[in-house]
Structure 1
Amino acid sequence: MLRQRSPDHGVMAAKPQNNETLASAVEAIAGCPVRDAERLRRALTHASARGAHAGDYQRLEFLGDRVLGLVVAQMVFDANPKAAEGELSVRLNALVNAETLAEIADEAGISELIQAGSEIRSLSARKRINLRADVMEAVIAVVYLEGGLEAARGFIRRYWEGRSKAETAARRDAKTELQEWAHQMSKAVPVYSVDKREGPDHDPVYTVSAIVDGFEAGVGIGRSKREAEQAAATDILVREGVWQEEENTQ
């Protein structure tokens, strides 16, 4: 049976927690002591919840993004000694994109610690994914600043190494794959059409068709247009035998 990506959890407004509680939780997740609890609070704070003179995660996200990219790039480089630059780039991009970061934030328990205002509920599904991804990078920056590159590498490997070895890590996203396949098969470019939008504005569900000349349309459902388009592209790729069902995760 085709496995679907788990739905976006969204980010609920977290109850305010004191610095010591947040530090203890992140120490357990990251395996690294947190001495600067105020910096950690900033890493976990969305602009909607910051005080008049407090900061949020944005500066730390900038640093964490670079640390993550370096560690994962080396991980992919070492694990794939025969891979060309193009394959290495595909693997790297799949491991540091917003969806993967948000998924790991949920898995590690980081999402539950995000300090956000009640208006976060009205964000689109895509923006909630981006928020969790940004905070994940900010937490990586905290670990790096607390324990250096080795501490950050240990934390990142704990959650990324298994994913880096998966067969699907070398797979491009479904829309990119479908575009190349469609060009080879019919010299056509896939067209995506929103068939239906259901649910409240803050948590919509989209049904999208992917159309390639000469082939049956693919249909996908998702909490954002992009997610539904990826699912529709996957539908065609699996049906036409380009991808195998048991290997697909889109």
Structure 2
Amino acid sequence: MKTLDELEKIIGFEFADKALLTQAVTHSSSYFDGRAKKTRDIAQKHYERLEFLGDRVLGLVISEYLLSTFPEEDEGDLNLRFAQLVRKESCTLVAESLKLDDFVILGTNETKSGLNKNPTILGDVCEALIAALFLDGGMEIAKPFILKHWDEQLKSNQPHKQDAKTALQEWAQKLKLPLPLYIVSQTTGPAHAPQFTIEVSLTNYEKSVASGQSKRIAEQKAATEFLIREKIWLDQ
């Protein structure tokens, strides 16, 4: 595992309160074995409370950006853009680009299993890091960090689609059909990098199947495949 000094160099900010940075990358599993003793006097807590705050800071920055960048768009389009940019998968992409998996503090067993590469944990750590930056340096530090590392997603963000699960549900409701049913048909891969296969079924229609690194991703992919196959969405 790399040092937090190296992480500070990557993000371009030196923390006055090092405990905040340590807390931001500390998973709760570290409190269940001997490694916790090495970090508890510094971090005292794991990242979950910071994750809660980071999610709100991210949302505020993205909301302000969208409002100023797209003055002609209505609330509906802004909401579609916003949902795409603040979802967990977007945070995971940023975490992977920063190689945050090299810095996550886990319990011994979790470290051995490679849980530091779990997409959900990486997304959580990214949100916690945003909160730590906000608490230590204020919005003048947190905002540039977000805009810099979300830059590619901001440029490619389009409001033309809802998320696939919502679109499929609304389409089913218009046809007065039961809601789509999502089931996990298979789970493969190691604990730190599982692959979930999801089937989505809708009355009178063929099932759609897709896989992903999390259930949420697989469900969205399965719903997207269904929408494209039935020509509800065009394949773009």
Q: 1:170 to 1:72 in 2, by over 3 A?
A: farther
Q: Which has the higher contact order (CA 8 A, sep 6+)?
A: 1
User: C-alpha displacement at 1:129, in angstroms?
Assistant: 3.3
TM-score where L is the length of structure 2: 0.79
**Number of the residue aligned with 2:14:** 33
Secondary structure in 1 aligned to 2:106? coil
**Number of the residue aligned with 1:149:** 139
**Number of the residue aligned with 1:45:** 26
CA separation in 2, counterparts of 1:170 and 1:224?
24
User: C-alpha displacement at 1:235, in angstroms?
Assistant: 1.0
Matched, 1:139 2:121: no
Of all paired residues, the percent bearing the same amino acid is: 37
Q: 1:187 to 1:170 in 2, by over 3 A?
A: same
Q: 1:32 to 1:212 in 2, by over 3 A?
A: same
Name the count of aligned residue pairs.
Answer: 226
Give 5+ residue unaligned stretches, structure 1: 1-14
User: C-alpha displacement at 1:188, in angstroms?
Assistant: 4.0
User: C-alpha displacement at 1:111, in angstroms?
Assistant: 2.6
TM-score where L is the length of structure 1: 0.76
Q: 1:228 to 1:176 in 2, by over 3 A?
A: same
Q: 1:130 to 1:122 in 2, by over 3 A?
A: farther
Amino acid at match of 2:217: E
**Number of the residue aligned with 2:226:** 236
Secondary structure in 2 aligned to 1:187? coil
User: C-alpha displacement at 1:181, in angstroms?
Assistant: 2.0
Matched, 1:86 2:76: yes
CA separation in 2, counterparts of 1:138 and 1:231?
27
**Number of the residue aligned with 1:189:** 179
CA separation in 2, counterparts of 1:190 and 1:59?
33
Q: 1:64 to 1:92 in 2, by over 3 A?
A: same
CA contact (8 A) 1:193 1:208 kept: yes
CA separation in 1, counterparts of 2:76 and 2:133?
30
**Number of the residue aligned with 1:226:** 216
**Number of the residue aligned with 1:5:** none
User: C-alpha displacement at 1:98, in angstroms?
Assistant: 1.6
User: C-alpha displacement at 1:164, in angstroms?
Assistant: 2.6
Give 5+ residue unaligned stretches, structure 2: 31-35
Equivalences for residues 90-105 of structure 1 within 5 A: 90-105=80-95
Q: 1:27 to 1:64 in 2, by over 3 A?
A: farther
**Number of the residue aligned with 1:76:** 66
CA separation in 2, counterparts of 1:175 and 1:221?
15
Q: 1:100 to 1:169 in 2, by over 3 A?
A: farther
CA contact (8 A) 2:178 2:202 kept: yes
**Number of the residue aligned with 2:4:** 22
- Computed over aligned residues only, the root mean square deviation of the Cα atoms, in angstroms, reads 3.0
